[in-house]
Structure 1
Amino acid sequence: MLAVLRREVADPRGRPGLDADRTGPGRDAVPAYPFAPPPAERFPAYLRPLERAAAVGALAVMSEEWQFEPAPVRSRPDREAVLADARTLLDRYGPDAEYWTNAVAAGSGPAPDFVAAGLRGTASYTFLTGAYVNGLDLCDDLGLIAVSADEVGVFWSVGAC
């Protein structure tokens, strides 16, 4: 997972990733920008397991805006389509995949209702850098990690103040 956050590995299936800031100025200041993940030995303090349904909800709410969301997933007319898209993305990892999140709510159990809480209502143990780069102060994040026998998928939503 650290290698993925640091963009040190390519997609094992050769598919291109979505990484608009791969060569951005933030990467000059902080090589893993926007991340500053803890060392691997600290992951148990920051990551919690999720059931698949909760992972779907977490991924779905990542489509929301951090600031001033006009239509949270829970109230959208296309809610079921957003959830179906999230299921499709996670299907890549197969039926035996395990899911992990940095969401604080998952500390009380592996099935928090992310859709009901919404992105803005979901606190997390941050994996973000505290560096102030190009006028951006990164203040919110929600991460989802999918782990299969063959690969690791990392999905992250980052909010800037």
Structure 2
Amino acid sequence: MTVVDKETWKTAVCELFGGSAFAAVGPSEEGEGGWRRGAVDVMRLRTRDPRGWWSINNAPEGDVHTLCGPDRPFLPPRSADFDAVYEVSRRGAAQVLVTLQGDWFLTAGIPGFDKREPELIRHAGLILERFGHDALCYTNASAARDDPNGDMFGREAAYEGFTDYALDCGVIVVSPTEVGVFWGFVID
């Protein structure tokens, strides 16, 4: 097992989240719904990584019809908006993380996916490892609603959106102390 430190984290984030993507971590608040409040703070850019590790905000520029952009990657989320995310297995979360770099969040849109799959899954595993083995994972990919243990590489492309871009998809990872938000955006 690889120890996740500042450098392995940065490498994994850079390998998975180039292009139009968002990857940031903030503190998780205690109490019921605390992770939701933590995720809201991360999505509203109101917090910093508790460990001071690398984050990325490459939300695309909007147009006259788009409210979202680099300074506001998400529509202002509220805790209740997270009713539209679904628990997903750790394996499924890793698969969704990998697909965020593909066109329309599909493996077919990732150049050389067949050869790169093991490497990409390893990077996704490193990202999840930061949060510990007991971390909970959530996604807005509606395939997880019906089967949280299903194959997220072969999922249908239906998502509950958090932006006003054409499409957005992501994973929220929750540990007792941290909340990570990893998201991809499609503008056309």
Coarse TM-score class (shorter-chain normalised): 0.7 to 0.9
Residue number in structure 1 paired with 2:49: 11
On the 8 A contact 1:139/1:159 being kept in 2, the answer is: yes
Give the drift of 1:95. Answer: 0.7
CA RMSD of aligned residues (A): 2.8
On the 8 A contact 1:143/1:156 being kept in 2, the answer is: yes
On the 8 A contact 1:102/1:124 being kept in 2, the answer is: yes
Please, which runs of 5 or more residues in structure 2 have no aligned partner?
1-38
Task: Return the TM-score normalized by structure 1.
Answer: 0.78
Please, which runs of 5 or more residues in structure 1 have no aligned partner?
130-137
Identical columns (%): 28
1:119-158 superposed matches below 5 A: 121-129=156-164, 138-158=165-185
Give the drift of 1:62. Answer: 1.0
Residue number in structure 2 paired with 1:77: 115
Task: Return the TM-score normalized by structure 2.
Answer: 0.68
SS class of match (1:100): strand
Give the drift of 1:42. Answer: 3.5
Query: What amino acid is aligned across from residue 79 of structure 1 in structure 2?
Result: E
On the 8 A contact 2:99/2:107 being kept in 1, the answer is: no
Give the drift of 1:107. Answer: 1.1
SS class of match (2:166): strand
> Is 2:105 the partner of 1:33?
no
Query: What amino acid is aligned across from residue 108 of structure 1 in structure 2?
Result: D
Give the drift of 1:77. Answer: 1.0
SS class of match (2:185): strand
Q: Residues 123 and 58 of structure 1: is their aligned pair in 2 closer, same or farther, counting only changes over 3 Å?
A: same
> Is 2:85 the partner of 1:47?
yes
Q: Residues 147 and 112 of structure 1: is their aligned pair in 2 closer, same or farther, counting only changes over 3 Å?
A: same
Q: Alpha-carbon deviations, 1:117-152, whole Å to 9, x = none?
A: 3xxx421000003xxxxxxxx101111000001100
Instruction: Count matched residues.
Output: 146
From 87, 91, 99, the equivalent of 2:129 is 91
